[in-house]
Amino acid sequence: MEKIRVYAPATVANVACGFDIFGFAVNHPGDEVVLIKKNSPGIEIVEITGDEGRLPKEVSKNTAGIAIQKYLEFIGQSEQGFLLSLHKDMPLGSGLGSSAASAVAGVFAVNELMGRPLAQKDLLPFAMEGERVACGSAHADNVGPSLLGGFVIIRSYEPLDIIQIPTPENLYASIVHPQIEVNTKDARGILNKEIYLSTAITQMGNVAGLVAGLLLPDYELIGRSLVDVIIEPSRAILIPAFKEVKLAALDSGALGCSISGSGPSLFALSKGEEVAQKVASRMAAEFANVGIGSETYVSQINQAGPVILPF
C-alpha cells in the first residue's frame, strides 16, 4: 500500500475508581489519519482539520507526527517519508483521549504501510510518546484502549504491563461533553497528595469489584464498584452542576457515573442501549439547566480499536 486512512476511537480513562490504571474505548467519537508514502525522507503534516487551528504542524510537537517518527526510528526506516493529514472528530481537551486517538491512528497507519513489522500491542510505546508531547507524561490509560480496543488495565509501567479484560455485551457508555474547559494541569494540581489508609482500602475494594463485575458479568456489582473516593471529590468542583448531572444519570437507571479522564466530560455505564440513551439525555438536560451546552455520545464498549477506512 502507498496510502491508508485510519480511524482510532475516543476513550474513557480512570473509569471512576481506577485512576491512571483503567480505560475503555468507545465507538465514537474518534480521530482520522490519512498517511501517504512519499519519495523523500521526512514526515510532512499537510493538513489538520477540526482543531480550530489549535494543533501544531511541527512533527516533534504533534502527537500523531511524533508517534510515527519514533516508530520509524525504532524499525530503522527513518529515510521513508510520509504526508500526514489529521482530522479531529472530537473536542480537544474533552477528557476523551483526543491526543491519544491521533497518536494511535498515526502509528497504526504507518505500521500497516510498512508491512506490519510489529504486532499491534508493540505499537503502544510509540503512541505513548504522543501523549508525552501532549501533556508531558507518557501515560497509557487512553492510548491502551484506543490501540487495543475494549477495557484495559495498566498494571505496571516499569515494565509496561497492559491487560485486556472482556466486558458484558449489553454494557453501554453514555458520555456527555459540556462546552467548558478543564485544564489537565489544574485537574492534576488539585489532587490530594496523601490519603488515609481507610480511603485507600475502600478504593482498592472498588477497583477489585469493578474488574470482577466485568468478568462475571455482574451488572449490579459493576454499579456498586463505580465509586471514586479519592479523585472525583477533588475534581468535581471544576465541573459546574456535577452533582446534579450525576444524580440525573443514576436516577435514569445508570449503573454509575463519574468523570472521564481529567474532565470536563462525564461518563455513565448502563445495562442496555435504551437506558444509556435516556441517561445521556438527562445528563445533557442538567447541564442545559445551568446554561451549558453539551455533546452526547452513546456507545457499546469498542472492541476493535483502530480500523482502516475506505477512501
CA distance 13 to 22: 6
Beta bridge pairs of residue 17: none
The yes-or-no answer on residue 167 being catalytic is no
- Judge contact between 107 and 126, C-beta under 8 A: yes
CA distance 142 to 163: 13
Grid coordinates representing 285 are 438536560
Question: Residues 44, 112, 184, 296: which is the catalytic one?
Answer: 184
Residues 233-242 as b/e (b if ≥16 CB within 10 A, e otherwise) read eebbebbebb
| β strands within 72-188, DSSP E | 81-89, 151-157, 160-165, 171-178
The yes-or-no answer on residue 49 being catalytic is no
Angle at the Cα of 15 (from 7 to 250), degrees rounded to 5?
Answer: 110
Beta-carbon count within 10 A of 113 CB: 19
- Judge contact between 26 and 177, C-beta under 8 A: no
Question: Residues 131, 167, 232, 286: which is the catalytic one?
Answer: 131
Q: Which long-range contacts (CB under 8 A, 24 or more apart) does 238-242 make?
A: 238/182, 238/186, 238/187, 238/190, 238/263, 238/264, 239/178, 239/180, 239/182, 239/263, 239/264, 239/266, 240/178, 240/180, 240/287, 240/290, 240/292, 241/286, 241/287, 241/289, 241/290, 241/292, 242/266
CA distance 244 to 257: 11
Write phi, then psi, for 277 (nearest 5 degrees).
Answer: -65, -45
Active site residues: 131, 184
